[in-house]
Amino acid sequence: MRHGIGDGEVFYDLVQNFFAWTKDDYIRQIKHYPVTDEVRRAYHYSSAGFAFLEKAFEILENKTTKQILHDELFEPLGMVNSNTIDEARFDDNYALGYQPGSNGTLIKVTGNFVSRSSGMIGGYGMASTADDLAKYLRFVLRGGVLEDGETVHVNRDLIEDALSPQMFYPNPYGGYTVADGYSMRPAAPFTSHTYAYGLASWHRYYRGFQLVQHTGSHFSDTLMTYHPDLKIGIYAGLNGPYERVSWTVETIVHEYILDILLDLPNYLNQTTVCAFPAPWGEPVDIPTFTAIPEDVASTLPLEKYTGVFGRAAYGCMNMTLNRTDDDTEVLQFSMSEARMFAYPKEGQAHEFWLKGVDDMYHLWYTGPYSIKFTESNGLINELIYQGLEFERM
């Protein structure tokens, strides 16, 4: 529903906005979104739109989304180990996502970061297990009938609608291939083609079979695949750093499982799997990361950059002075719960890298976030982030 309304996301990934902002912030921003297409004529991803529709749904049902999930999903389906993300127990058995660390290591994303931010993005955020998700897959493939095989919990017509395409893509979609990266130029002996989007699902063809797939990515990657006609459902999850290659790998693994279940010849074996994606695809480059330098002097004294900078629809960014663990003075950026230290860039006046602290500590390297200031006669007038101007308040 949300992706087909026709207004484009314009605030995506503003300093990890799904961590910094509240759902009410997201909802207020909807009025600032440009309408670019007619309803259900194009695909526009929008996390803020999910929050908007979620609030409307809560008003209609007179229940919170959390209550609805418990009453209509977890309890009837016997999903005893599932919960909303903010109620999850982040103990040693919880598979938290990982992000790149220094020298090829991996570091865990904190439970608090996952809990707060996952609840903001599309899909609300749910913590579950493979067993519980298998119950959900079987429920959908049974057409809304519970485990006893008799009780109809959801009307079959609604299930069929949920598994039906809602909007169709041009060919090629968006000028590039989607999902597994193989849509237009096959990089493997067998390929899949994405042709439509449904209710939070991709609709694809694989070797003549129609598939419905639901993906999730938030410091990890998950994939559900339905083959409605043959009553096949597959779920897989990864909790490593999410890159486009994660989606590719999970898709290929699902297709391999489908080959086995459908008794079709498959191209992955003990030899080819070790060299994947070769010999069919291009080698996958492993990204490199550079730590943010902390010893570069700023052009002006740090206190000159302090203050509150705001922009309509985005809110306010606060720049203050703080001290590091080793008692070094540092410029600090904050926006709601988001907190990052700002370190000057080498050779670039009034520009700073943003380094995450506390629950954003995994953002330690150059690249993702930076800010710059405009200066006139020794005075700082505005802060610029991703080309957006925030005026001094």
Per-block average pLDDT, block size 10, for the chain (393 residues)? 51 57 73 70 68 83 90 95 84 84 87 76 74 95 94 93 81 44 49 76 84 81 89 89 72 87 80 60 72 96 97 86 96 89 97 94 90 94 90 94
**Pairing between β-strand 388-392 and β-strand 315-323 as defined by DSSP bridges:** unpaired
Tokens standing for 201? 């699902």
How much is the pLDDT for 186?
Answer: 46
Is 200 within the bounds of a domain?
no
Distances (CA, A) of 267 to 185, 191, 270: 17, 11, 10
| Bond prior to 279 in cis (omega within 30° of 0) | yes
Q: Decide if 46 is inside a domain.
A: yes
List of residues 6+ apart from 150 with CB closer than 8 A: none
Please report whether residue 1 resides in a domain. Answer: yes
**Residue 41: its pLDDT value, please?**
66
Q: Where are the alpha helices (DSSP H) in the chain?
A: 17-20, 23-29, 47-61, 65-69, 75-77, 111-118, 130-141, 156-162, 244-261, 272-275
Residue 110 belongs to some domain of the structure = no
Domain count, the chain: 2
On whether residue 173 sits in a domain, the answer given is no
- 346/338 Cα distance (integer angstroms): 25
CB 234 within 8 A of CB 257: yes
Asked whether residue 101 is domain-assigned, the answer is no
Structural contact between residues 205 and 196, judged by C-beta atoms closer than 8 angstroms: no
What is the model's pLDDT at position 66?
A: 86
* Last residue in a domain, options 46, 62, 78: 62
Quick check: is 361 in a domain?
A: yes
Q: pTM for this structure?
A: 0.80
Half-sphere exposure of 233 (CA within 13 A, CB side): 19
Place of tokens 């995450």: 356
- At 178 the pLDDT is 43
- In angstroms, rounded to a whole number, what is the distance separating the alpha carbons of residues 99 and 364? 10
- What's the pLDDT at 380? 97
Helix runs in 8-110, H state only: 17-20, 23-29, 47-61, 65-69, 75-77
Among 62, 97, 114, residue at a domain's last position:
62
Where are any strands of DSSP class E within the chain? 83-84, 98-100, 106-108, 126-127, 167-168, 192-197, 202-206, 209-217, 221-227, 232-238, 307-311, 315-323, 329-335, 338-344, 351-356, 370-376, 379-385, 388-392
Q: What is the extent of the structural domain holding 34? A: 1-62
Provide φ and ψ at 151, rounded to 5°: -75, 120
Could you identify the residue written with the tokens 């005026």? 391
Q: Domain boundary at 16, 33, 62, which?
A: 62
pLDDT at residue 176 in the model: 40
